[in-house]
């Protein structure tokens, strides 16, 4: 896999990323049509595109997972990884990115989408992935197109470099000039653009734009800088060399133009990828892959298909992956490959061994997970990346519609988590709930759809139970006597408890001070058991905390007393005593840390006060120019759908993390409503 001049050879893997709905899946379709992998260019709107082939993606007309398709162009294989743009599915992109050679960031000239673009570019910048911008939907653009760099530059840390400028027929864009080639093209729908003479006004504009492109390149090339200063035209090869070198080093991000729906600008994009994007050797270096004979692959995605079982979409980073290869990770055996497949979206085609650089699906690697670095042989290669999902921000409780599916639901959830590691499942034993946590409403909706469509378990969802508690404000000394005389053997247990409130966070403590054996020692644990049991549902209906109960007195009967009778006596004392102790509701308060662009900070402030939030402070966000951190304390019940509002106030980019802080007393109308709701649910 020698590098040919500056051009990389061999298979390439390219991510298509970008803000929501910018046209990534349409661009993939256009690329596949242009390179002959498909006969006709389908569309997302018509529901016949190669990407977004899953039932859920078709249904929502948006990408909800990566789509992977391999095609060939001028003798090389290219695998494109079409990533969802929605922030809720960002983990799909983040997990796939480490193994790609470069990314094409599909964007629009829309100021509102710049913060989203910034987030995505940030991810690429941090992972050091060379990137092109593809300014899509050029068919809808008008003369304001001249502002491209002014609008988009703030999103990028590296310098944007305009590679092409549009040419006009009246008000509409009819073609473009490629500034590196110095050649003018006129777009033709679904066909190659036509070369036309570069003359007149277009030539003048080309000269100016080309000069500023060269200036940008010269920032990192002194020799070019001298040539520019001395008015020497640099040779075209030199310009191309600089373009690819500076792209690969992440110093510049070239901007290309096009319209995916019309296949415009697609061939130029492919040529730029062919000439400028790095290939496996550079990517292996970036990832620190230690070359040897063993096959090394990185798992970009895990799928459970209806017919093929588990599939791991991998990029081969080194060596050759043959069928039946046994893989290991640094922690465990990953399994034996059963089938190697070429992917074209949902379509799979069995194929032979995969070489380094190729992106394929491997069948039945039972213990391989997304993000794993797998090695054939006994010496596991260290993980090339560790992409941890963002902490979840929204939760929903799910249950199988029919009891008989409970076991099946458990299995389905395991598969779901394998497919989407940015979802977590928690079993709330107290509320008998299975709580799914994830990145947003749509992701959780898609997750429940998958449970039904892919894994065959119909489910119902509801809001997860908030962890309310209750406690008491004053103490009492309370007797509990259980006495029954029903024919033969009777039941007798009698206790006196000294019940007192404890400071917040103390939980429950049981003590005893029995003198003279009025309650025999062997019954004392039963009293405690009864008390603990009664505390599970206090007078308000919630678990009781922060109290102590001390057994101070009681009596027994030599024949009729039993463990059961003393348990009941303990329960009775609590049951009768607590309502007189001024019970109060406790609600969980969380420490919430919101990150948002500074212009949204004031809105956050208002949002927080509307949700009983207490602002603790503001700060600038470290390492993030123009972003703030807002620290708030907020009740758990108010965090429920907070993310929805945070996103709508921040063009989708704001987010937060939260952790439990303390329990706080809650009284008044809100408390009454919560207690009433609990009572009616229990009835």
Ligand X SMILES: Nc1nc2c(ncn2[C@@H]2O[C@H](COP(=O)(O)OP(=O)(O)OP(=O)(O)O)[C@@H](O)[C@H]2O)c(=O)[nH]1
Residue 303 CB, shortest distance to Mg ion, in Å, is: 17
Which residue stretch of 61-69, 238-246, 393-401, 615-623 sits at the interface with Mg ion (rule: CB under 5 A)? Answer: 61-69
Contact 380, 422 (CB under 8 A): no
36, 48, 256, 319 from 266: Cα distances, Å? 13, 20, 9, 32
Angle at CA of residue 84, ends 80 and 90, nearest 5°? 115
| Residue 67 touching ligand X (CB under 6 A) | no
Report the partner that residue 259 touches, choosing among ligand X, Mg ion, none (CB closer than 5 to 8 A by kind). Answer: ligand X
Among residues 22, 54, 63, 601, which is the contact residue for Mg ion, using CB under 5 A? 63
Distance in angstroms (rounded) separating the CA atoms of residues 601 and 167: 41
Among residues 7, 20, 532, 576, which is the contact residue for ligand X, using CB under 6 A? 20
Angle at which helices 24-34 and 266-276 cross, to 10°: 80
| 77 token code pair | 């294989």
288 contacts: CB under 8 Å, gap ≥ 6: 382, 384
| Residue 562 touching ligand X (CB under 6 A) | no
Which residue stretch of 24-32, 199-207, 245-253, 443-451 sits at the interface with ligand X (rule: CB under 6 A)? Answer: 24-32
Among residues 10, 11, 14, 22, which is the contact residue for ligand X, using CB under 6 A? 22
Report the partner that residue 20 touches, choosing among ligand X, Mg ion, none (CB closer than 5 to 8 A by kind). Answer: ligand X
| 296 token code pair | 């090394």
What is the pattern of x (binds Mg ion, CB under 5 A) and - over residues 12-51?
Answer: ------------xx--------------------------
| Residue 45 touching ligand X (CB under 6 A) | yes
| Residue 571 touching ligand X (CB under 6 A) | no
Report the partner that residue 589 touches, choosing among ligand X, Mg ion, none (CB closer than 5 to 8 A by kind). Answer: none
Residue 51 CB, shortest distance to Mg ion, in Å, is: 6
Provide the total of helices (H) and of strands (E) in the chain, helices listed first.
18, 34
Report the partner that residue 23 touches, choosing among ligand X, Mg ion, none (CB closer than 5 to 8 A by kind). Answer: ligand X
Residue 445 CB, shortest distance to ligand X, in Å, is: 14
What is the pattern of x (binds ligand X, CB under 6 A) and - over residues 85-104?
Answer: xx------------------
Within 239-268, which residues bind ligand X (CB under 6 A)? 259-261
| Residue 23 touching ligand X (CB under 6 A) | yes
Report the partner that residue 204 touches, choosing among Mg ion, ligand X, none (CB closer than 5 to 8 A by kind). Answer: none
Residue 301 CB, shortest distance to ligand X, in Å, is: 15
Among residues 110, 139, 215, 219, which is the contact residue for ligand X, using CB under 6 A? 139
Among residues 112, 128, 140, 489, which is the contact residue for ligand X, using CB under 6 A? 140
Q: Which is nearer to Mg ion, 140 or 536 (CB)?
A: 140
Tell me the HSE value of 640 on the side-chain side, using a 13 A CA sphere: 12
SS (H, E, C) 651-671: CCCCEEEEEEEEEEEECCHHH
Distance in angstroms (rounded) separating the CA atoms of residues 132 and 272: 9
Residue 69 CB, shortest distance to ligand X, in Å, is: 13
Angle at CA of residue 274, ends 205 and 48, nearest 5°? 95
Which residue stretch of 78-86, 147-155, 348-356, 475-483 sits at the interface with ligand X (rule: CB under 6 A)? Answer: 78-86
Total residues at the site for Mg ion (CB under 5 A)?
3
Distance in angstroms (rounded) separating the CA atoms of residues 646 and 655: 7
Q: Which is nearer to Mg ion, 24 or 611 (CB)?
A: 24
Beta strands in 401-536 (DSSP E): 424-428, 433-438, 459-462, 469-472, 476-484, 491-501, 508-512
Residue 22 CB, shortest distance to Mg ion, in Å, is: 8
Q: Which is nearer to ligand X, 169 or 232 (CB)?
A: 169
Report the partner that residue 261 touches, choosing among ligand X, Mg ion, none (CB closer than 5 to 8 A by kind). Answer: ligand X
DSSP codes joined into one string, 446-478: HHHHHHHHTT---EEEEPPPP--EEEESS-EEE
Residue 651 CB, shortest distance to ligand X, in Å, is: 14
How much helix, strand and coil, in percent to the nearest 5, is found in the chain? 35, 35, 35
| 547 token code pair | 């109290």
409 contacts: CB under 8 Å, gap ≥ 6: 398, 399, 400, 434, 451, 457, 459
Within 316-335, which residues bind ligand X (CB under 6 A)? none
Residue 542 CB-density burial (10 A; 0-12 exposed, 13-18 middle, 19+ buried) = buried
Total residues at the site for ligand X (CB under 6 A)?
24
Closest residue to ligand X: CB criterion: 85
Residue 70 CB, shortest distance to ligand X, in Å, is: 18
Among residues 63, 359, 369, 373, which is the contact residue for ligand X, using CB under 6 A? 63
H runs (alpha helix) in 310-390? none
Contact 497, 552 (CB under 8 A): yes
Distance in angstroms (rounded) separating the CA atoms of residues 218 and 417: 48
What is the pattern of x (binds ligand X, CB under 6 A) and - over residues 197-236?
Answer: ----------------------------------------
14, 28, 77, 279 from 9: Cα distances, Å? 14, 21, 9, 7
| SS3 call for 643 | helix
Task: At 229, give phi and psi (nearest 5°).
Answer: -65, -35
Which residue stretch of 55-63, 263-271, 518-526, 607-615 sits at the interface with Mg ion (rule: CB under 5 A)? Answer: 55-63
| Residue 62 touching ligand X (CB under 6 A) | yes
Residue in this structure with the two tokens 């006969």, named with its chain if needed: 39
Report the partner that residue 613 touches, choosing among Mg ion, ligand X, none (CB closer than 5 to 8 A by kind). Answer: none
- Tell me the residue length of the chain: 683
Among residues 8, 11, 12, 25, which is the contact residue for ligand X, using CB under 6 A? 25
| Residue 453 touching ligand X (CB under 6 A) | no
Contact 160, 147 (CB under 8 A): no
Nearest to 389 by CA among 61, 657, 626, 55: 657
- In which element (H, E) is residue 418 found? helix 406-419
Which residue stretch of 18-26, 183-191, 315-323, 339-347 sits at the interface with ligand X (rule: CB under 6 A)? Answer: 18-26
Distance in angstroms (rounded) separating the CA atoms of residues 632 and 399: 32
Among residues 12, 24, 34, 450, which is the contact residue for ligand X, using CB under 6 A? 24
Among residues 12, 13, 26, 41, which is the contact residue for ligand X, using CB under 6 A? 26
SS (H, E, C) 82-116: ECCCCHHHHHHHHHHHHHCCEEEEEECCCHHHHHH
For strand 547-555 and strand 508-512, is the pairing parallel, antiparallel, or unpaired? Answer: parallel
Which residue stretch of 80-88, 197-205, 231-239, 466-474 sits at the interface with ligand X (rule: CB under 6 A)? Answer: 80-88
Report the partner that residue 45 touches, choosing among Mg ion, ligand X, none (CB closer than 5 to 8 A by kind). Answer: ligand X
Which residue stretch of 133-141, 331-339, 503-511, 661-669 sits at the interface with ligand X (rule: CB under 6 A)? Answer: 133-141
- In which element (H, E) is residue 196 found? strand 191-196
Residues at the contact surface with Mg ion, assessed by CB under 5 A: 24-25, 63
Positions that interact with ligand X (CB under 6 A): 18, 20-26, 43-45, 62-63, 84-86, 106, 136-137, 139-140, 259-261
């Amino acid at each position: 896999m020698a590098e040919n001049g500056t051009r990389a050879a061999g298979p390439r893997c390219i991510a298509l990323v970008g803000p929501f709905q910018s046209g990534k899946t349409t661009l993939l379709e256009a690329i596949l049509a242009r390179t002959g992998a498909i006969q006709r260019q389908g569309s997302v709107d018509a529901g016949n595109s190669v990407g977004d082939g899953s039932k859920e993606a078709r249904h929502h007309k948006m990408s909800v997972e990566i789509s992977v398709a391999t095609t060939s162009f001028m003798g090389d294989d290219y695998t494109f990884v079409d990533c969802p743009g929605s922030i809720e599915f960002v983990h799909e992109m983040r997990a796939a990115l480490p193994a790609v050679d470069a990314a094409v960031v599909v964007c629009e000239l829309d100021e509102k989408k710049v913060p989203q673009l910034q987030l995505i570019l940030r991810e690429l910048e941090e992972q050091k992935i060379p990137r092109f911008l593809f300014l899509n939907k050029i068919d809808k653009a008008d003369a304001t197109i001249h502002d491209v760099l002014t609008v988009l530059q703030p999103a990028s840390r590296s310098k944007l470099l305009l590679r092409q400028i549009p040419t006009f027929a009246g008000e509409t864009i009819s073609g473009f000039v490629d500034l590196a080639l110095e050649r003018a093209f006129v777009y033709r729908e679904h066909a190659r653009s036509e070369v036309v003479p570069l003359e007149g006004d277009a030539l003048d504009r080309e000269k100016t734009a080309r000069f500023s492109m060269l200036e940008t390149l010269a920032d990192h090339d002194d020799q070019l800088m001298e040539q520019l200063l001395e008015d020497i035209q640099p040779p075209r090869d030199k310009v191309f060399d600089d373009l690819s070198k500076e792209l690969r080093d992440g110093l510049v991000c070239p901007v290309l133009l096009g319209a995916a729906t019309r296949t415009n600008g697609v061939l130029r994009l492919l040529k730029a990828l062919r000439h400028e994007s790095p290939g496996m050797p550079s990517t292996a270096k970036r990832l620190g892959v230690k070359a040897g004979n063993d096959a090394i692959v990185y798992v970009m995605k895990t799928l459970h298909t209806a017919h093929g079982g588990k599939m791991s979409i991998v990029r081969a980073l080194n060596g050759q992956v043959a069928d039946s290869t046994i893989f290991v990770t640094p922690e465990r055996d990953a399994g034996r490959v059963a089938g190697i497949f070429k992917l074209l979206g949902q379509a799979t085609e069995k194929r032979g061994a995969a070489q380094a650089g190729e992106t394929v699906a491997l069948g039945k690697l039972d213990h391989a997970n997304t993000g794993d670095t797998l090695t054939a042989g006994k010496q596991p290669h260290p993980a090339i990346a560790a992409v941890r999902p963002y902490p979840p921000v929204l939760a929903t409780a799910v249950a199988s519609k029919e009891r008989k599916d409970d076991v099946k639901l458990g299995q389905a959830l395991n598969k779901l988590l394998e497919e989407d590691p940015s979802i977590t499942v928690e079993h709330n034993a107290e509320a008998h709930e299975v709580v799914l946590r994830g990145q947003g409403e749509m992701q959780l909706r898609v997750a429940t759809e998958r449970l039904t469509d892919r894994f065959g378990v119909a489910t119902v969802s509801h809001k997860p139970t908030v962890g309310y508690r209750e406690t008491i404000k004053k103490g009492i000394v309370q007797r509990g006597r259980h006495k029954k005389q029903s024919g033969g053997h009777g039941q007798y247990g009698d206790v006196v408890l000294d019940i007192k409130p404890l400071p917040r966070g103390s939980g429950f403590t049981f003590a005893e001070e029995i003198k003279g054996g009025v309650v025999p020692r062997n019954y004392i644990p039963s009293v405690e058991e009864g008390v603990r049991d009664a505390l599970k549902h206090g007078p308000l209906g919630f678990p009781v905390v922060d109290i102590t109960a001390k057994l101070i007195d009681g009596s027994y009967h030599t024949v009729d007393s039993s463990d059961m009778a003393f348990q009941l006596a303990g329960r009775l004392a609590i049951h009768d005593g607590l309502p007189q102790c001024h019970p109060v509701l406790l609600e969980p308060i969380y420490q919430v840390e919101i990150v948002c662009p500074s212009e949204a900070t004031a809105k956050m402030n208002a949002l927080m006060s509307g949700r009983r939030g207490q602002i603790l402070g503001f700060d600038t966000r470290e390492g993030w120019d123009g972003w703030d951190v807002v620290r708030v304390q907020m009740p758990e019940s108010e965090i429920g759908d907070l993310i929805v509002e945070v996103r709508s106030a921040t063009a989708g980019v704001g987010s937060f993390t939260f952790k439990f802080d303390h329990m706080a007393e809650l009284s008044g109308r809100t408390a009454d409503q919560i207690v009433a709701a609990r009572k009616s649910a229990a009835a």
